[in-house]
Amino acid sequence: MKNTLRQRVPYFLLLPLVWLVGLAAANAAVTVKDEAIDGKPAFRLENYRVSLLILPAQGGAVVSYKDKLGGNVELIPPGAHNGLCMDHFQCQPWPGELLDTPYDGKILKSADGECVVQVSCEVKGDFRGSQYPKLKGLRLEKSYTLRDGSPALETRVKLTAPVKNSTLVDYWLQNVFFAGGKFDFDCDTSFRPTVRGVRVKTDRKTGFTGPEDFLRDFNDGWLALLDTKTKSGLVVLTDYNDLRFLYVCGSSRTLEPMFEMAYLPAGASREYTVYIVPVAGLDNIVAATPDYIAGYRMESDNKGAGKVEFNVVRSMRLVTNLALNVTIGTADKPSPGVSAGTLAFDKIGDEPQARSATFTGAGPDPLILQVVAKATGTGEAVTNRFEDYFNGAYQWGENIQTDMASPRYKGVRPPQQLRLNKPKEIRIPRPWEMQMWYAEGLLDDYYGVTQALRLTMRNNGKTKWTRAFVSSSIFGTKLSSFPYDYEELFSYDYIVLGGLRQDALGGLVLEMLTDFVNAGGGLVVLGGPMAYAKSDLAGTKFADLWPVKILPGDYDLLDLQGAPIEVADASVPFLMDLDWKPRPTVRYLHNVELKPGAKVVLTAGGKPFLVTGEAGPHKARIICILGAAMGTLPAGQTPFWEWSDWRYLMRQVFWWTQRYYDFDRFGVR
Amino acid sequence: MRTELKRNLCLAMAVFGLTAGGAQAETATVWSTDFSSEKVRDLNPSAKIVAAPAPATGKLLMLSNGGGRTPAWCAAKELRLAGPVTVAVRLRGKGFAGVGPVLNFNGYFRVGKNYWGVEIPGTVYGTQLDETKAMTISFNILLAPQPESYSFDISGQWALKETNSAQTIWIERIEIMANGPAASFISRVEPDKTSYRLGQTAKVAVAVVNPTATPFKGSLTLTELFDLEEKTDAATGAVELAPGEAKEFNFSWKAKLPEAGRELRVTLLDAGKKVLDTYTDFYGIAKDPSYLNTMAGGVIAPVWNNRYNCSYVGPASYAQTLGFIQFNKAMRLQRFEYFSWSYNELAQFMPPKDEEPYLGNEGIWWQSFKKFKNQVRMLKEIGVTPISYVNGGLWGPEAYKLYQKHPEWFLAVGSFDMEWRAKYERRNEFEFMQNKTPFFYCYFNPVLPEARRYVADQLIGIAKEMGFEGARWDVWNMSVSPGQKDMFGKEVAKTAEEADRLTAESLAAVKALVAKEVPEFTWGYNYGGPEEVEKTPLIIAEKCRGGGWILDEITCTYQEKTSPFHYWDAYRDRIVGWGDHIRQLGGIYNPFPFRRGGALYTIDHLYEGIFRLIGGARSYMPGEFNAGAAGKQGLMAFRYSDVFFGWSLRLQPATQTLVKVTAPDTLWWKSMVLLGTGANGRPRAIVHLVNSPPVNEVEENPQSLVRPPVKDVVVNCGPQNGKKLPVKAWVISAEPATPDAEPAVTATVLPLTRHGNTAQVTVPWVLYWKTVVFEY
């Protein structure tokens, strides 16, 4: 189970066990005191484990932090832009407007075993003269809570849109500090969980994949930075579902959760919860949850036998028992693997507890460590899973193949549960004004979208066109931009969707595209090497709206060897005034299944080439172009994308899709 | 060859002068100083003129390790010199240990008032310094062949990372020795190429100076020496010079078998056939000159880097290109690999005519096609084989176009970025800044005849139009992996065995297509380590077939503590054993140094160089050791190529009983016994004697401490095939033959005695590495 902190059990419910009470009593009570730095008010929070100072005047950040068990040294170096829990937005260049903004600050609570300090400000949406209207008026309230029995600093950041305007928030929490109190090129080490195992980086040792500052393939909601010499540092815990990147600057200098873009309708709020947990006694981290933090050491003989030892310390909550069920498999066949048994820990505290186990028959290196952890505290037992890639004697010394790019092992990334603030009405406002959003994928430039678009442009100052680009690498497929703001998304009349894979969209974009069509927005889907079957969109809510059904599997291209396009339904208005004499032909065509209500307008080789349909409550028009603009045709044949009238067909497709009123005017719908 | 190139080649030899040299007939000390004329004084806080300690008299230059540059030690003017010159420095030292560099010489011979002069490439190493016993360290320099008036100045620069005033060097004497005025001498021997393919014409220019006041008549004989005692009379010719004249005499002959490194010995005789002077130089003869590439191109790392950069991504003026060419010639290198120079790789190596400059180097930086074409041509003129790196991926606009036209030819799209592509389309605008990667990568389906033809045509194109003589594949080499599917989902290879077979077949098919058009085109490959080919025996066999250059890249990680090979004994057996395996498959072995550019400490450089050469390694990378008293090991392997990497060599198991060495266990030899055949066709047994590193872990000896030499090593060799005993034995070394000698590449006959049913020799001492050869 991934960290889902916002669903956590309220802390005060977790205390009743006798030994916990005893332990809490043994730890000095939490306190909050007013202090001043250069005459500016500050608040000191302190308990048995940590002492920290919050300075509202410096972006409401934590500007001093000491872990009494971790050497009691200052972790935050001097400087205005160093500190913990510093607020930033991804759309603004660093340092952004908030790091130097004076916040208001006050003590909200100092009772019942917890102290709460709140800092707040209003975002201006103005940084060094650049305007960010979608941030303007946003209210940021950040509350720090320290409790008397817990080492964790709870930070809740609440962002509220102005009453009259929506906002678009791409929040980013920065923690800039030196593990162990000073920067060490070799020992300051970051740990981040990914489907390729925990990525471990120091300034000098970044491995074949480089620093990987922006990690996208994370599979849990934590990141850690330790000084491996002093075995001390911090873990940052947050909600896996909210995250966009696990960012670490320069391999080992910061811990920065970057959150998914969030659209906030007028007056709506969103809250992010982050725990800063000190760690002492561990020199690596393989798992971190609100219940425990674990490091491990493993060795193998490259023949399947070996030993694994876990060291565990407490996290935000106290747990009475922790059971780690350990399985070892190979990178080629991680499951079912061989069992190394269950390691039982009890009364996990601030000092590390160690347990070890041996295993045999696991197979040759590299190995995959898989653990099911069951933590029992005062409430219901919490189960979570984690895994890591163990390199052992595998040739390259890390999780990489000999192409120096592809990982040797890649696990499955759990889906992220979305939190989406949708507008009250899912409806694209009229009148429509030739406004198009276009995602250009591989080879989509051959469809001549640009020429067709220019043939639709009107000189009325309202035409709008935006292009986003698709890219693909070993880390997956990406989209360069997206109108995450529903108001902006709904300002487009239609979308041209080029070839892209589902992972470029992510759950958030997929949901918003579905909303777009349901709001009545037009959609043109292009073919190509990354489209339809390759897009991995089959079975999604979005693709369910299309008039064609993507066939199962990754391969749906037919080789027609040069079949001419035939008109199957001459009644549609967008086929007017086209010169078919050059006989445009198709080499490759996506093979699909027609859905009820689909209208085949053009065919090639007896298969649908262009299909129209309507979807959603507002009957959004959708056109699927199934011919792929690629391949070499026999001599003398005209590839459809080189056909002189292809651009006119595309222009009219765009007009029809977005219900251009001229079509209506002449009654040729 | 262009005139300016020829002129500059002369200068280049003077600058580096690492391989060639003369045995001067009448060497005279033309200048010296023992500091006796200096006043006792402080030159600066770390350098002083001091009185020599009693009972000695005179003065010394005392240098304390204060770091940085030292003041000038001395200077001389109006020295009329030509050809080989030796600078000898007699010095003592205190507080130094290990084989690491201590002090670099900054010595220059300058003509007129030129600031730039001919630099002495000298370094003093810790093991060469003793507090009580002065040592003379000599540095050979080649000046221009025609006599010129030079000034000379010299200072030093501390090479130690940390200052330590307790570390002191006393310089007793500095001396310049050169050919004297009493007799004619050879001032330069210059083969036009560093290596010749069979049948090519070797052209050699010999410069002779007559410094006397009388005319000179005599003759020159040119003899090729190879293997242990083989020789061929190459050419002879009469020479005639007026008083004071310097003149060049040219000779030529056809390069003939066998493939081997050659020593060219030129002898100057007077009219009475009395030998006045001899002069030695080196070149190679091979079907593929890469076969001989063991010279230490990486010895002078800063110089190498400087020269290398201008042949890489940076711009290069014609003068810089000349410098790069001169360096290759002076170092007598055989192979140069142009890394990632191309426009769009296999999609289209050479840029369109209107793209100059073009975005090459994987789209990372602007490149000049004119520069590359010039450099390739000029490398070939000096006998260096230009090799094109082949990434294997197709990238950039031409790959994009090809993929659009023939998606069925491809198995995979590696990556793409449509935003970068849109930006690239505006590349001719002033503000354009390139990305760090191309916008599109893809990989062929290698089993398709169309893809094979396309790849072959690209390589034929760069051979015919650019002049490249070979290619070295990197990331992808006609490879298919099990489970890979074509665009219709058809699995190309279902199993690892099938993928192995199809890849090997595809590679062979491309090689055959290219060979039809360019028969001498050579091939090289990555992924040549045993860990990488465990499951692909057919691929590695195909790669090695016909002399494939096999890069064992994984060795660059072996210094890591997680590697089982970061222990020297394990590293030794890995390199020597795998090098033999590659040789047996017909490949040319090219293991990477630690960390690609060499390990942390000098001791590591020394031993990785030794084991790589014993493993038959050829390399173009830095890391070859040529320092201290270890000598020119790369030159040794080149000169005695049959002994160190001849095709007939076969490594014997460590349990072999043919050869036995009586020495302490610290002298390693057991896993380094080979059998082979000499150029004369006679069988031979070879044993390498290595005085092992004192610390068995790589990069755990920061002081670069070494073991004391092993003396009187007894080596016995039994009868081969149970019949005859060896009849002759040699010891080959680059290190000094005796403790007081200076390093020299030599093959010395050892007295052979019968001891039971074995032949026995005694090697007087082994400092780091010596090799004993028994001939049957």
* Interatomic CA distance for residues B507 and B512, integer angstroms: 9
A 579-598 residues inside an 8 A Cβ radius of B: 588
CA-nearest residue to A553 within chain B is B489
Output the CA–CA distances (angstroms, integers) from residue B140 to A403, B86, B116, B128, B625, in the order listed.
Answer: 45, 5, 19, 17, 18
User: Does position B434 have pLDDT exceeding 60, yes or no?
Assistant: yes
- Helices B449-461, B496-517: crossing angle, 10 deg rounding: 40
Query: Is residue A511 a part of any domain in this protein?
Result: yes
Query: Is residue A382 a part of any domain in this protein?
Result: yes
Asked if the domains B185-289 and B592-776 are classified in one and the same CATH topology, the answer is yes
Pair (A493, A619) in one structural domain: yes
Pair (A638, A497) in one structural domain: yes
Please identify which residue in the block is written with the tokens 């490091």. Answer: A295
Query: Residue A482 phi/psi, 5° resolution?
Result: -155, 145
Residues of chain A contacting B408 with CB distance shorter than 8 Å: 559, 631
Q: Is A300 on the interface with B (CB under 8 A)?
A: no
Omega before residue B357 within 30° of 0, cis:
yes
Q: Work out the pLDDT band at A332, boundaries 50, 70, 90.
A: very high
Q: Which of A7-11, B54-58, B279-283 has the lowest mean pLDDT?
A: A7-11
**What pLDDT, on a 0 to 100 scale, did the predictor assign at position A10?**
40
CA-nearest residue to B533 within chain A is A402
Q: Work out the pLDDT band at B743, boundaries 50, 70, 90.
A: confident
Among residues A355, A390, A425, which one ends one of the domains? Answer: A390
Higher pLDDT pick, A406 / B670: B670
Query: Is residue A21 a part of any domain in this protein?
Result: no
What is the pLDDT averaged over residues B744-756? Answer: 95
Pair (A324, A455) in one structural domain: no
pLDDT in tens, B505-551: 999 999 999 999 999 999 999 999 998 998 899 999 999 999 999 99
What is the pLDDT averaged over residues A274-280? Answer: 98
Residues of chain A contacting B440 with CB distance shorter than 8 Å: 442
Pair (A604, A507) in one structural domain: yes
Q: Nearest 10 degrees: CA dihedral of B735, B741, B747, B750? A: -110
Residues of chain A contacting B529 with CB distance shorter than 8 Å: 395
Name the residue among B414, B421, B488 with its Cβ closest to that of A557: B488
User: Are B299 and B262 spatial neighbours (Cβ–Cβ below 8 Å)?
Assistant: no
> Do the chains contact at B405 and A630, CB–CB below 8 Å?
yes
Q: Which residues pair with A564 in a beta bridge?
A: A585
Residues of chain B contacting A501 with CB distance shorter than 8 Å: none
How many domains does chain A fold into? 2
User: How many CA atoms are closer than 13 Å to the CA of A669, on its beta-carbon side?
Assistant: 10
Q: What residues have CB less than 8 Å from B218, skipping those under 6 apart?
A: B184, B238, B239, B240, B268, B269, B270, B271, B276
Pair (A360, A439) in one structural domain: no
> Do the chains contact at B417 and A444, CB–CB below 8 Å?
no
Q: Is B722 on the interface with A (CB under 8 A)?
A: no
Query: Is residue A36 a part of any domain in this protein?
Result: no
**What pLDDT, on a 0 to 100 scale, did the predictor assign at position A23?**
46
Probe site for chain A from B416, B473, B527, B532 (most A CB atoms < 10 A): B416
Fold of the domain spanning B298-591? TIM Barrel (3.20.20)
- Minimal CA–CA distance to A175: which of A150, A153, A197, A206? A153
**What pLDDT, on a 0 to 100 scale, did the predictor assign at position A661?**
60
DSSP B463: I
Helix, coil or strand: residue A500? coil
User: Are A602 and A649 spatial neighbours (Cβ–Cβ below 8 Å)?
Assistant: no
CA-nearest residue to A208 within chain B is B557
pLDDT above 70 covers what percent of chain A? 94
Please identify which residue in the block is written with the tokens 């470029």. Answer: A504
Query: Is residue A2 a part of any domain in this protein?
Result: no
Residue B634, Cβ neighbours under 10 Å: how many?
32
Q: Is A656 on the interface with B (CB under 8 A)?
A: no
CA-nearest residue to B559 within chain A is A397
Query: Is residue A479 a part of any domain in this protein?
Result: yes
Q: What residues have CB less than 8 Å from B599, skipping those under 6 apart?
A: B559, B593, B605, B608, B698, B699
User: Are B415 and B361 spatial neighbours (Cβ–Cβ below 8 Å)?
Assistant: no
Complex prediction ipTM: 0.85
User: Are B651 and B150 spatial neighbours (Cβ–Cβ below 8 Å)?
Assistant: no
DSSP B709: P
- Minimal CA–CA distance to A266: which of A166, A183, A385, A152? A166
**What pLDDT, on a 0 to 100 scale, did the predictor assign at position B308?**
65
pLDDT in tens, B661-703: 999 999 999 999 999 999 999 999 999 999 999 999 999 999 9
Q: Work out the pLDDT band at A21, boundaries 50, 70, 90.
A: very low
Name the residue among B419, B488, B557 with its Cβ closest to that of A397: B557
Q: Is B423 on the interface with A (CB under 8 A)?
A: no
H runs (alpha helix) in A519-660: 541-544, 646-657
Q: Is B488 on the interface with A (CB under 8 A)?
A: yes
| HEC letters along A132-194 | CCCCCCCEEEEEEEEECCCCCEEEEEEEECCCCCCEEECEEEEEECCHHHCCCCCCEEEEECE
A 536-555 residues inside an 8 A Cβ radius of B: 553-555
* Interatomic CA distance for residues B451 and B486, integer angstroms: 13
* Interatomic CA distance for residues A547 and A568, integer angstroms: 16
| HEC letters along B506-556 | HHHHHHHHHHHHCCCCEEEECCCCHHHHCCCHHHHHHHHCCCCEEEEHHHH
User: Does position A9 have pLDDT exceeding 80, yes or no?
Assistant: no
pLDDT in tens, A334-360: 999 999 999 999 989 999 999 999 999
Q: Which of A208-222, A273-287, B208-222, B641-655 has the lowest mean pLDDT?
A: A208-222
Q: Is B5 on the interface with A (CB under 8 A)?
A: no
Query: Residue A97 phi/psi, 5° resolution?
Result: -75, -20
* Interatomic CA distance for residues B586 and B731, integer angstroms: 27
Rounded (5°) CA angle A90-A241-A545? 95
* Size of the A and B interface in Cβ pairs below 8 Å: 81
H runs (alpha helix) in B406-495: 418-424, 449-461
Residue A314 is part of a domain; what is its CATH number?
Answer: 2.60.40.690
> Do the chains contact at B415 and A469, CB–CB below 8 Å?
no
Q: Is B354 on the interface with A (CB under 8 A)?
A: no
Q: What residues have CB less than 8 Å from A548, skipping those under 6 apart?
A: A592, A593, A594, A595, A598, A608, A611, A613, A624, A626
Tokens representing residue A66 in the block: 């000491």
Q: Is A535 on the interface with B (CB under 8 A)?
A: no
- Minimal CA–CA distance to A605: which of A646, A548, A566? A566
**What pLDDT, on a 0 to 100 scale, did the predictor assign at position B185?**
96
Residues of chain B contacting A553 with CB distance shorter than 8 Å: 489
Q: Is A98 on the interface with B (CB under 8 A)?
A: no
Query: Residue B164 phi/psi, 5° resolution?
Result: -160, 105
Structural domain range at position A467: 435-665
Residue A505 is part of a domain; what is its CATH number?
Answer: 3.40.50.880
Residue type, A521: G
Q: Which of A222-226, A474-478, A620-624, B604-608 has the lowest mean pLDDT?
A: A474-478
* Interatomic CA distance for residues B376 and B388, integer angstroms: 10
The DSSP string of B645-696 is H-TT-EEPPTT--SEEEES-TTEE-TT-EEEEE-TTS-EEEEEEEEE--SSS
User: Does position B342 have pLDDT exceeding 70, yes or no?
Assistant: yes
- Minimal CA–CA distance to B538: which of B499, B577, B484, B495? B499
**Residue B609 CA to its chain's centroid (Å):** 11
Residue type, A538: A
* Interatomic CA distance for residues A515 and B562, integer angstroms: 53
pLDDT in tens, B181-201: 999 999 999 999 999 999 999
- Minimal CA–CA distance to A3: which of A150, A217, A218? A218
Pair (A536, A659) in one structural domain: yes
What is the pLDDT averaged over residues A38-50? Answer: 96
Q: What residues have CB less than 8 Å from A425, skipping those under 6 apart?
A: none
Output the CA–CA distances (angstroms, integers) from residue A561 to A355, A631, B408, B625, in the order listed.
Answer: 65, 9, 12, 61
pLDDT in tens, A103-142: 999 999 999 999 999 999 999 999 999 999 889 999 999 9
Q: Is A396 on the interface with B (CB under 8 A)?
A: yes
Q: Which residues pair with A279 in a beta bridge?
A: A233
CA-nearest residue to A641 within chain B is B404
Name the residue among A529, A557, A559 with its Cβ closest to that of B413: A529
Sheet of A188-192, strand order? A104-111, A114-122, A139-147, A153-160, A269-280, A232-238, A222-227, A188-192, A199-202
Q: Is A446 on the interface with B (CB under 8 A)?
A: yes
* Interatomic CA distance for residues B216 and B238, integer angstroms: 11
What is the pLDDT averaged over residues B86-107? Answer: 92
* Interatomic CA distance for residues A113 and B634, integer angstroms: 75
Residue A127, Cβ neighbours under 10 Å: how many?
20
Q: Work out the pLDDT band at B55, boundaries 50, 70, 90.
A: confident
Q: Is B356 on the interface with A (CB under 8 A)?
A: no
Level-2 CATH architecture, domain B27-179 = Sandwich (2.60)
Name the residue among B403, B413, B419 with its Cβ closest to that of A480: B419
Q: Which residues pair with B578 in a beta bridge?
A: none
Fold of the domain spanning B592-776? Immunoglobulin-like (2.60.40)
How far does the CA of residue A279 sit from the closest CA of chain B (Å)?
27
* Interatomic CA distance for residues B474 and B470, integer angstroms: 13
- Minimal CA–CA distance to A14: which of A286, A375, A280? A375
- The domain ranges of chain B are 27-179, 185-289, 298-591, 592-776
CA-nearest residue to B557 within chain A is A396
| HEC letters along A247-294 | ECHHHCCEEEEEECCEEECCCCEEEEEEEEEEEECCCCCCEECCCEEE
* Interatomic CA distance for residues B350 and A191, integer angstroms: 44
Name the residue among B408, B413, B476 with its Cβ closest to that of A442: B413
Q: Nearest 10 degrees: CA dihedral of A409, A414, A416, A417? A: 180
Fold of the domain spanning B185-289? Immunoglobulin-like (2.60.40)
Q: How does strand A627-628 pair with strand A584-590?
A: antiparallel
Query: Is residue A190 a part of any domain in this protein?
Result: no
How far does the CA of residue B479 sit from the closest CA of chain A (Å)?
11
> Do the chains contact at A440 and B422, CB–CB below 8 Å?
yes
Q: Which of A416-430, A444-458, B484-498 has the lowest mean pLDDT?
A: A416-430
Query: Is residue A79 a part of any domain in this protein?
Result: no
* Interatomic CA distance for residues B604 and B594, integer angstroms: 9
How far does the CA of residue B61 sit from the closest CA of chain A (Å)?
41
Rounded (5°) CA angle B159-B312-B377? 115
Residue B764, Cβ neighbours under 10 Å: how many?
15
DSSP A445: G
